[in-house]
Amino acid sequence: MILGYEMEDLKKLNGHHTAQEIVQQPALWKQIYGLIEKDRQRIADFLKANVDSKTRILFTGAGSSDYIGEVIKSHVKSCTNVRVEAVATTDIVANPQEVIERDVKTVLVSFARSGNSPESIGAYRIMQENTERIAHVIITCNKDGNLVSEAGENGNCFMLILPEETNDKGFAMTSSFSCMLLAALLFFHIHMLDEDKKYVDTISGLGERIVREDWKKMRDLSGCNPGRAVYLGAGYLSGMAREMALKNMELTNGKIATMQETILGFRHGPKTFMDKDTDVFVLMSRSEYTNQYIRDLLKEIYHDTRKHKLIVISWEKDEEIEKISDACIFVEGEQVPDVYSALVYVLYGQMFAFFNSVRLGIEPDNPSPDGSVNRVVKGVVLHSYYNVPGRECEVVV
């Protein structure tokens, strides 16, 4: 059984790839650790040669791949003590003049499930051609992707190709997202890899339990027929809330209106999105200071008169939260660094999106059958970009 279905039934729903790719993640996380461990010396040598106090680490990707950087940038900054940013490939390609810092030593970290998105190639070329000292890290799930071919001849590029199972066959990124995220965490914390093993083991064990047992909770929440969904998180969980919102939007083909906001930002206008048919998901932080603000918002939302459903996902059991929410999901796991909890939380968002897709009669593996949205983006034309010191930037079509 996978998420309560026999494989034959999942195939009839055209959801077998997505379901399998959700539940296989905890096992794949252990494989990712093994991959990094095997390459630890080469990784350490690369970081020693390319990362120092003057380095700028720039995470990039599009869609879910972009959100990886949003989730991990603060953690990586604390590990490396250098400047760390996350900028989407779509922004680099469309507005390179806002991103390029020609004289700043840069490590561009590209996340790419397929490596075939036009913006992945465009961002790589723009940064390579317009940065004097640049090194690349390519974290991808496809050894045959265009990005691998493009960067393969670059002598200052670290190519990290993940196991084939991470290259999702389903439409939405699930295994690819979490595995690329974990790979990057371990890559930039290579000097503490032995210590990190226990965290990977912890989240893998919790994840196995969640996909084996807690799918029922997400199925039941979907069964309440939400018409809208809101995802709220603070700090690194703001990025994860974006990913969870995107999964629901993708797998329901936009049939469930979905939005994401920060904890404190929600009051500043976005709260008007909430109505009686809305499920509001709130991701509790691991910071007790931050959770003070989250509890204040929970009380406000819970006592609002619009009859929505308030759902809280928390690492630790909390009786106060139970009193001011409609549904609580407590992970109740061993302590791990904050960002590792995000990998566990995302499983709930993926399962909720899957069950919404099935409930609405949409095929999870192909939610956009008319081709208006594609697994690999189409229709992007890359234009040449020149950035010459001392004159205006010029875009040539």
Can you say whether the dihedral through the CA atoms of 356, 114, 233, 334 is positive or negative?
positive
Q: Give the percent of the chain with pLDDT over 90.
A: 89
Model confidence at 393: pLDDT above 50 = no
- The mean pLDDT of 41-52, rounded to a whole number, is 98
Q: What's residue 368's pLDDT?
A: 86
Model confidence at 33: pLDDT above 60 = yes
What burial class does residue 101 get, using C-beta atoms within 10 Å of its C-beta: 0-12 exposed, 13-18 middle, 19+ buried? middle
Q: What homologous superfamily does CATH list for 214-359?
A: Glucose-6-phosphate isomerase like protein; domain 1 (3.40.50.10490)
* Secondary structure letter of residue 272 according to DSSP: G
Q: Please report which confidence band the pLDDT of residue 395 belongs to, taking 50, 70 and 90 as the band edges.
A: very low
Question: Domain extents for the chain?
Answer: 39-188+374-396, 214-359
pLDDT in tens, 60-76: 999 999 999 999 999 99
Q: What's residue 392's pLDDT?
A: 42
**Is 39-188+374-396 CATH 3.40.50.10490?**
yes
Across the chain, the runs of DSSP E, i.e. the strands, are 56-60, 83-86, 106-112, 134-140, 157-161, 228-233, 257-262, 278-283, 309-314, 327-330, 384-386, 394-396
Quick count: other Cβ atoms within 10 Å of Cβ 110?
24
Q: What's residue 231's pLDDT?
A: 99
Fold equal for 39-188+374-396 and 214-359: yes
35-44, 222-231, 374-383: the lowest-pLDDT one: 374-383
Q: Give how far the C-alpha of residue 329 lies from the chain's centroid of Cα atoms, to the nearest Å.
A: 20
Model confidence at 396: pLDDT above 90 = no
Round to whole Å and give the CA distance between 110 and 87: 10
Q: What's residue 149's pLDDT?
A: 94
Higher pLDDT, 376 or 338: 338
Q: Give how far the C-alpha of residue 60 lies from the chain's centroid of Cα atoms, to the nearest Å.
A: 12
Q: What's residue 389's pLDDT?
A: 53
Strands 56-60 and 106-112: parallel
Q: What's residue 394's pLDDT?
A: 40
Q: What's residue 372's pLDDT?
A: 64
- The mean pLDDT of 205-229, rounded to a whole number, is 97
Q: Please report which confidence band the pLDDT of residue 287 belongs to, taking 50, 70 and 90 as the band edges.
A: very high
Round to whole Å and give the CA distance between 183 and 180: 5
Q: Please report which confidence band the pLDDT of residue 378 belongs to, taking 50, 70 and 90 as the band edges.
A: low
What burial class does residue 82 get, using C-beta atoms within 10 Å of its C-beta: 0-12 exposed, 13-18 middle, 19+ buried? middle
pLDDT in tens, 164-215: 999 999 999 999 999 999 999 999 999 999 999 999 999 999 999 999 999 9
The whole-chain average pLDDT of the chain stands at 94
Q: What's residue 397's pLDDT?
A: 24
Round to whole Å and give the CA distance between 89 and 62: 6
Model confidence at 391: pLDDT above 70 = no
- SS3 of 205-217: HHHHHHHHHHHHH
Q: What's residue 153's pLDDT?
A: 83
Q: What's residue 390's pLDDT?
A: 42
